[in-house]
């Protein structure tokens, strides 16, 4: 049985390009992001992969990335489930601010803590721990069971919501997960064992 799970962070968004905190702000892909998404689809097609179901967030940049990937795979009508449990981390009062301006306002160290600590919340927003607390149960209840029954599953989501999944898959912890980078438009191809642990992992980049 093939227990295939592919995770893809959305391509570069318009606000990634402008170096702005995005969070739950519903911005679309940049031109580069569109190409990153298409390239992700071509890389998956190059492995001969096809999918039975897809999951994505409630935000357009992840949905658009998924649509472009499926277009490259010629699977445009694939059954897709959307849920805000897979949304990006909510950056609260930082949303819409330029990251360099935020550093000038609060200091390099404070902004670094907000961005890279596990359990410190930015003003009015979520910590990475908060994001894990909503994304991981959704994964365990809705995504993982389908993988374990042999469905080939594609997830298009966000850097921080995917960190929650990778934290479990790669057996990372509160100290190691914040520094784990997930590139835009780079597919992470997992094959799982029957007990849900990782049999193999391939990062499709370069």
| Least confident among 17-26, 171-180, 196-205 | 171-180
Query: In this predicted structure, what is the pLDDT of residue 162?
Result: 97
For 58-87, the pLDDT digits (tens) are 999 999 999 999 999 999 999 999 999 999
Q: Is residue 72 part of a domain?
A: yes
User: What's the CATH code of the domain at 65?
Assistant: 3.40.50.1240
- 89 vs 185: CA distance, rounded Å: 18
Two tokens, residue 71: 């277009």
Structural domain for 80, as ranges: 4-191
Query: In this predicted structure, what is the pLDDT of residue 206?
Result: 72
Give yes or no for a contact between 169 and 202, defined as CB atoms under 8 angstroms apart: no
Give percent of the chain above pLDDT 70. Answer: 100
For the chain, what's the residue count? 206
Could you give the number of structural domains in the chain? 1
Residue in 10, 72, 151, 158 annotated catalytic: 10
Q: Is residue 197 part of a domain?
A: no
The Cα-based distances of 118 to 21, 47, 81, 96, 115 in angstroms read: 17, 35, 28, 22, 9
Residue in 36, 72, 88, 151 annotated catalytic: 88
- Residue 112's CB is within 10 A of a number of other CB atoms, namely 12
The Cα-based distances of 60 to 10, 144, 160 in angstroms read: 10, 24, 16
Query: In this predicted structure, what is the pLDDT of residue 197?
Result: 97
> Is the per-residue pLDDT at 103 higher than 80?
yes
Give yes or no for a contact between 8 and 56, defined as CB atoms under 8 angstroms apart: no
For 130-186, the pLDDT digits (tens) are 999 999 999 999 999 999 999 999 999 999 999 999 999 999 999 998 889 999 999
- Compute the mean pLDDT over every residue in the chain, rounded to the nearest whole number: 96
CA 102, 107, 108, 113 torsion: positive or negative? negative
10 labelled catalytic: yes
Q: Is residue 150 part of a domain?
A: yes
- 86 vs 88: CA distance, rounded Å: 7
Two tokens, residue 97: 């601010």
Give percent of the chain above pLDDT 90. Answer: 94
């Amino acid at each position: 049985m093939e227990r295939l799970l592919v995770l893809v962070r959305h391509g570069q968004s318009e606000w990634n390009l402008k170096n702005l905190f995005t969070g739950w702000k519903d911005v679309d892909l940049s031109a580069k992001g569109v190409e990153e998404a298409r390239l992700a689809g071509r890389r998956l097609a190059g492995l001969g992969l096809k999918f039975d179901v897809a999951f994505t967030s409630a935000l357009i940049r992840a949905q658009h990335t998924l649509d472009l990937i499926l277009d490259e795979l010629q699977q445009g009508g694939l059954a897709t489930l959307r849920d805000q449990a897979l949304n990006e981390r909510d950056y609260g009062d930082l949303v819409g601010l330029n990251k360099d301006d935020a550093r000038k306002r609060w200091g390099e160290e404070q902004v670094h803590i907000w961005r890279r600590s596990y359990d410190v919340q930015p003003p009015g927003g979520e910590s990475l721990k908060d994001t894990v607390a909503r994304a991981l149960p959704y994964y365990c209840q809705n995504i993982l069971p389908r993988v374990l029954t042999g469905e080939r599953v594609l997830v298009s989501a966000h850097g921080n919501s995917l960190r929650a999944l990778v934290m479990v898959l790669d057996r990372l912890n509160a100290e190691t997960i914040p520094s784990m980078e997930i590139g835009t438009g780079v597919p992470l191809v997992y094959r799982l064992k029957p007990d849900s642990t990782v049999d193999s992992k391939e990062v499709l980049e370069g």
